[in-house]
Structure 1
Amino acid sequence: MFFKKNLSNKKLIELYEALLLPRLIEEKMLILLRQGKISKWFSGIGQEAIAVGVTSALEDDEYILPMHRNLGVFTTRKIPLHRLFSQWQGKPNGFTKGRDRSFHFGTQEYNIVGMISHLGPQFGVADGIALGNLLKKNNKICAVFTGDGGTSEGDIHEALNVASVWKLPVLFCIENNGYGLSTPSSEQFKCEQLSDRAKGYAMESHIIDGNNIIEVYEKIADIAKSVRKNPRPVFIEFMTFRMRGHEEASGTKYVPKELLEEWATKDPIENFQAFLKNTGILTEEKEVELKTKIINKISDNLELAFNENPITPNTEKELSDVYQYFDYKEIKSTKKTKNIRFVDAISDGLRLAMQHHSNLVIMGQDIAEYGGVFKITEGLVDTFGKERIRNTPICESAIISTAYGLSVNGFKSVVEMQFADFVSSGFNPIVNLLAKSNYRWNQNADVVIRMPCGAGVGAGPFHSQTNEAWFTKTPGLKVVYPAFPYDAKGLLTTAIEDPNPVLFFEHKALYRSIRQDVPEDYYTLPLGKAKLLNKGNNLTIISFGYALHWVLEFLEENSTISADVIDLRTLLPLDTDTIYSSVKKTGKVIVIQEDSLFGGIASDISSLIHENCFEYLDAPVKRVASIETPIPFEPNLEKQYLGKNRLAKEINELIDY
């Protein structure tokens, strides 16, 4: 049932035209799909009123995070159709340069953040954008979409909780179309309505007829106006149905025929069109005129896309777009030094970075008044306030996604993992969202994730891993692993300067066991540049982090051994020039890591040396690492686990080779 309410005839025709455009595009795309001219299609036929209504109700500079069935978001934001068609054909004028398909793209020009197939992180990204709006005090909101199936994901629940606790101005738009791919709602959740879940988060909720464009537009416009004045999250369940399969290859055989027939009578465009005709707002002539105009527009833009040259593969271009360009500028220290601990260097680096970057936010569990479990952020909340030093719920995944959303909205962020081991709970957004973002749609992820890590403190299997190898395998990430206070502070400030995602490893055993003279002011050190700590001729020893101190201790006790000692400092990017130069001089190499051996960074370094310096080697490259077990807590078992015990034997064997 449609009611005109306060909408003018002009506005009603605008909404009608906005509904027609995605429907007519879809009908054409389904033909092209069968002709093999596009690769895949996720149909939104039957659901257009939601995307069109929500987008029409928001302001153009308010972010929307759509899903793959929300073509109406893109068309209502007036993205040039030829660019959409180029995107779906993998042409250069698309938004991902042929690197990602269909609706897996975003565009800052139109304030749209595209989806990833993992669905759940989308809500966390919206949290970050909304947090940015709060910090800017711009009275803007954002809207994020998911389907009924996506609401079962843990990331969704984490993000809803964060939004509720922080009172973030987000519209969480749930399209309840009855099926998660082929799984009916009865097999997905037991609550009567998905909106019932909002009660658990003390969140306002609404149920809206998703096939009624007037109801969608007017209710969302009212909610949006209210949220701009009184920031808060709102959970909105749109009741709708998709008339085609999850994707075209899926079909609809799993849907009862009578259900399809029932929802066919509720078509959002046919019913709205009938209403407009019955009230005299739309004539047959006007309908034909609008459809003809849109069809011609589609044809003209398709021709532009079809005539566009295909992408020419360029390896150099592909590699250069994995990271956003970072113009590193060295900032030298000008003030006196102070002898401080590793933990103090990290803390000081964060404090100075907060002063240096007014758009920097630090997030993590217990980091505000408590100062974090290692007291690294102690006192920062007194200086910078709780808006920028933010305690988080225990939800690693949502907070990392939130950090990405902050980056989209122009902020930098540092996220503290309470222990590096816990990053597994946030693994997905790191490797599938942050790491791929710049490559996919030229959106950087300006995020540093601090990783307190490592054994040697009797913390056992869940609090002792040094898991850098999880991330050195992933293009798009940078991995930093300092061994000394001076490096820790300078590399941390650079990591925060860098617009790319950085995993910053801090070994817990070094926090309070090592001291060094460190400049008191702000300075930077380059990423991807190793440090030659010791010069020698007999062999090259390569290491980083805590294991590097095993090496230095061994050489101190064996002063007759002449060795180059390389502190990698950063693992990604890796300073191969320094490594190769030393190997060519000494002819013998040993690589030491704390992590267990198989699949670690030492293996890749060994391979690189064999491939690039083979003719200079006088012996096979040796590796020293921990044994292939989880990390035990009992002191004798932990000592047995660590490679330190085997270091002397392996070095002496290499020298004698």
Structure 2
Amino acid sequence: MNFDRKNLTDIKLLDLYKKIIKPRLIEEKMLILIRQGKVSKWFSGIGQEAISVGVAAVLEKDEYILPMHRNLGVFTGRDIPLCRLFSQWQGKANGFTKGRDRSFHFGTQEYKIIGMISHLGPQLGVADGIALANKLKKNGKVTAVFTGEGATSEGDFHEALNIASVWDLPVLFVIENNGYGLSTPTNEQYRCENLADKGVGYGMESHIIDGNNILEVYVELTKIVNSMRKKSRPVLVEFKTFRMRGHEEASGTKYVPQELMDLWAEKDPVDTFRSYLIEQKILTVPQDEIWRSEIRKEIDDHLLIANTEAEIIANYDTELNDVYKAYDFEEIIPSEKVEKIRFVDAVSQVLKQSMERHENSVIMGQDIAEYGGAFKITEGFVDQFGKGRVINTPICESAVVSAGMGLSINGYKAIVEMQFADFVSTGFNPIVNLLAKSHYRWQEKADVVIRMPCGGGTQAGPFHSQTNEAWFTKTPGLKVVYPAFPYDAKGLLATSINDPNPVLFFEHKQLYRSIYQEVPTDYYTLPLGKATLLKEGTQVTIIAFGAAVHWALETLGNNPDISADVLDLRTLKPLDTEAIYASVKKTNKVIILQEDSFFGGISSDISAMIMENCFEYLDAPVIRVASLDSPIPFMKTLEDQYLSKGRFETELKKLLAY
């Protein structure tokens, strides 16, 4: 291997050597522990240490790094106490996830390291968001994010590169091309000669670096990163390296030809660098042994600390309380000045007022800047807030959601507009696996609101008319808000933006320009998790949300002899069970109306909860009225048949006659 020290001093060379042997010695210890059954899982980075060590050495301590399974050198390079790493790998409380996630699936703001999730790709979009925040702060910071050659086939990889390039984000995309994705060799993963070539398609500067040569890694990255700090832009770097162990230890390496293993063993980044330093009389064998002995002692001492730490004791309250970041609702009461406005106006008004109130807020979405969005909700926002805070996005929902998480990590509030709620399916993974789980996993908030224009009644067909709240009410860690009136939409969206937890905010398209209400002109907030009793009666409780609330009120208007409680849920998570139970215990009959299709909708859970908690108060079965179990159709006659609205009156009267 050709080592070219350039102008690096002996002190710097020895510093890099000490940095590269530390993860190697830890790895060797971990291989012993896993054979002893003291560690359950291990993803070895032996043979790849130069990349992690080099990246960590080049970046400043306050610049974020997003590593993966095999990047122990990033963690040791940031001087994390080894006892904390050992506690993390053993599932102890002194780790970073309170025993809730394993190995390197964690992050730490203290050390500016943001951990991966097993789906790999979303962390690239998170890096985009972190870098966007740095660009808005004009602090000249660079963000580095790792991925493997296998993950370059994921859509998230391409979305993240495209966004970074279009927005000129200072992201260092690090590809560790180590030969295999689990057992699949590179010739079965892609056809281009070099993965660095993929950057060309995105107009992105790219480089190929020998990932086993610590000096080449350090020298080349130093030049690249310094240049990125001066001129904000993304750079793609492919590191050629090899994985000397299995994907994880249990998988082994039997699928790798022995001659290939032998070839790369000769390129070992630790052994070759050691030999070079000794040959150049920069390092002596006795000094090397002293350093290795000191590191081994540090490993043993810190292992003892972790081993003597008590096992985590399971506690219901502790687990449930960490699903969401604690948030104290701040009630803001407006003045008495009101104006009669539409639902769409209320949403636009509170978005503008929230962006004025929170200077660290950013709104992103397709066509939302100069065009003002598909529904003109953000029209005029660019003139007031500028394109740095009102950002048109490419059509890549997954990376945009992930970027929202990155903005949150780096001190911003992210508001993401889905052009239609239906399109959220292409951003589903980062919502349910990243945003929803981050606080529970490693106590990191996800300060992201995703606005969801939804619903039928406009003859928009199967891809623009869904009301898909049930996709998210199932997922712990998300909050789901679904107002029916302009007043509620304004106050609840204000609170959703204030709340540091991820919120799915559903806005029914048919209500946008059909529902008017007297709404305070000032900024105000309403609490999440509180239903509204719109009408009071004695015969039956009607539970609904969104457009279904108006269907229920219309039905009662046509049947003035029916005395009913009408409960508008407003928020689905958290759910106001207290209001539900109180009404049911009073009327003794209940019907739940939802627009979503029947099976698996939230009405099923509400019905079950009522049966479990109010059974003795019921004079009839709980009735659910929902849309057909089919996709929502286009033609009006078919859509009318599909929607639950047309069946509600009949079912209500049958219940009253029970």
TM bin, normalised by shorter chain, reads: over 0.9
Q: After superposition, where does 1:462-481 map in structure 2 within 5 Å? A: 462-481=463-482
Matched residue type, 1:459: A
The answer to whether the aligner puts 1:634 opposite 2:635 as a matched pair is yes
Counterpart-to-counterpart distance in 1, 2:199 and 2:628: 48
Per-residue deviation, 1:335: 4.5
In the alignment, the residues of structure 2 paired with residue 100 and residue 468 of structure 1 have an alpha-carbon distance, to the nearest angstrom, of 27
Q: Aligned ranges for residues 213-612 of structure 1 at < 5 Å?
A: 213-612=214-613
Identify the residue that residue 130 of structure 2 maps to in structure 1: 129
User: What residue in structure 2 maps to residue 68 of structure 1?
Assistant: 69
Q: Deviations over 1:185-206 (max 9, x none)?
A: 1111111100011110010001
Corresponding residue SS for 1:504? strand
**Secondary structure in structure 2 of the residue aligned to 1:249:** helix
Distance of 1:4 and 1:579 partners within structure 2: 72
Answer yes or no: is 1:111 the counterpart of 2:141. no
Name the amino acid aligned to 1:476.
G
**Post-superposition offset of 1:259:** 0.5
TM-score under structure 2 length normalisation: 1.00
| Matched residue type, 1:203 | M
Give the Cα separation in 2 of the matches to 1:238 and 1:425.
30
CA deviation after TM superposition for structure 1 residue 257, in Å:
0.8
Q: Distance in 1 between matches of 2:309 and 2:157?
A: 39
> Aligned partners of 1:561, 1:335: CA distance in 2, in Å?
34
1:140 corresponds to which residue?
Answer: 141
Cα distance in 1 for partners of 2:398, 2:528 equals: 26
Are 1:31 and 2:58 counterparts?
no
Tell whether 2:166 aligns with 1:165.
Answer: yes
Partner of residue 623, structure 2: 622
Aligned equivalents of 1:221, 1:309: Cα separation in 2: 43
Q: Deviations over 1:22-64 (max 9, x none)?
A: 0000111011111111110000000000000010000000000
Helix, strand or coil at the partner of 2:542: strand
Q: Distance in 2 between matches of 1:10 and 1:515?
A: 72
- TM-score normalised according to structure 1 size: 1.00
Residues 161-204 of structure 1: per-residue CA shift (max 9 Å, x gap)? 00000000000000011111111111111111000111100100
> For 2:565, what is the secondary structure of its paired residue?
strand
Q: Deviations over 1:533-575 (max 9, x none)?
A: 0001111000000011110001111111111100000000000
Q: Deviations over 1:567-608 (max 9, x none)?
A: 000000000000000011110000000001100000000000
1:214-247 superposed Cα distances (whole Å, 9 cap, x missing partner): 1111111111111001000000000000101111
**In the TM superposition, what whole-angstrom CA distance separates every residue of 1:321-366 from its partner, at most 9, and x where no partner exists?**
0000011010001141000000000000100001000000000000
Aligned length: 657
3-state SS of 2:483 partner: coil
Q: Which amino acid aligns with 2:40?
A: S
- 2:245 counterpart letter in structure 1: R
- Give the SS at the match of 2:249: coil
- Cα offset, 1:7, TM superposition: 1.2
- What secondary structure does 1:542 align onto? strand
SS in 2 for 1:144: strand
In structure 2, give the amino acid aligned to 1:410: G
SS in structure 2 opposite 1:91? coil
Give the whole-Å Cα distance in 2 for the aligned partners of 1:144 and 1:335.
50
Supply the distance in 2 between the matched residues of 1:221 and 1:498 (Cα, whole angstroms). Answer: 40
What is the rounded CA distance, in whole Å, between the counterparts of 1:4 and 1:461 in structure 2? Answer: 62
Letter of the structure 1 residue corresponding to residue 82 of structure 2: L
**How far apart are the structure 2 equivalents of 1:4 and 1:637?**
73
Whole-angstrom distance in 2 between the partners of 1:198 and 1:44:
25
> Quick one: which amino acid aligns to residue 142 of structure 1?
T
How far does residue 4 in structure 1 lie from its aligned partner after superposition? 2.0
Distance 2:508 2:474 in 1: 20
1:85 Cα shift?
0.1
Q: Where does residue 18 of structure 2 map in the other structure?
A: 17
Q: Partner letter of residue 272 of structure 1?
A: F
Q: CA deviation digits over 1:393-446, x for unaligned, max 9?
A: 000000000000000000001100000000000000000000000000000100
**Secondary structure of residue in 1 paired with 2:251:** coil
Mapped partners of 1:335, 1:393: distance in 2:
41
- Alignment partners' CA distance in 2, 1:651 and 1:587: 14
In structure 1, C-alpha distance between the alignment counterparts of 2:628 and 2:146, rounded to whole Å: 46
> Could you tell me how far apart the structure 2 residues matched to 1:493 and 1:335 are?
18
Which residue identity does 2:295 align to in structure 1? I
Deviation per CA, 1:288-333: give whole Å up to 9, x if none.
1000000000000000000000001111000000000011010001
* 1:652 corresponds to: 653
Q: Counterparts of 1:213 and 1:567 in 2: how far apart (Å)?
A: 62
User: How many Å separate the matches in 1 of 2:336 and 2:231?
Assistant: 47
SS where residue 322 of structure 1 aligns? coil
**Cα deviation per residue 1:52-83 (whole Å; 9 max; x = unaligned)?**
00100000000000001000000010000000
The letter for the 2-side match of 1:619 is A
The residue type paired with residue 321 of structure 2 is S
Structure 1 unaligned regions, length at least 5:
none
Q: What one-letter code is carried by the residue in structure 1 that aligns with 2:67?
A: P
Alpha-carbon distance in 2 for matches of 1:188, 1:598: 39
Aligned-partner residue type, residue 596 of structure 1: S
Give the corresponding residue for 2:97.
96
Q: Secondary structure at the match of 2:250?
A: coil
Q: Distance in 1 between matches of 2:175 and 2:623?
A: 55
CA distance in 2 between counterparts of 1:393 and 1:177 reads 31
Aligned counterparts of 2:535 and 2:222: Cα–Cα separation in 1:
67
Residue 78 of structure 2 corresponds to: 77
Distance 2:569 2:228 in 1: 50
Where does the alignment leave 5 or more consecutive residues of structure 2 unmatched? none
Q: Percent identity?
A: 69
What letter corresponds to residue 500 of structure 2 in structure 1? Answer: P
Q: Tell me the distance in 2 between the aligned counterparts of 1:348 and 1:638.
A: 32
2 CA distance for matches of 1:2 and 1:335? 74
Partner-residue secondary structure (3-state), 1:553: helix
Corresponding position of 2:193: 192
Deviation track 1:253-310 (CA, whole Å, cap 9, x = no partner) reads: 1111110000000000000000000011111110110000000000000000000000
Q: Secondary structure at the match of 2:538?
A: coil
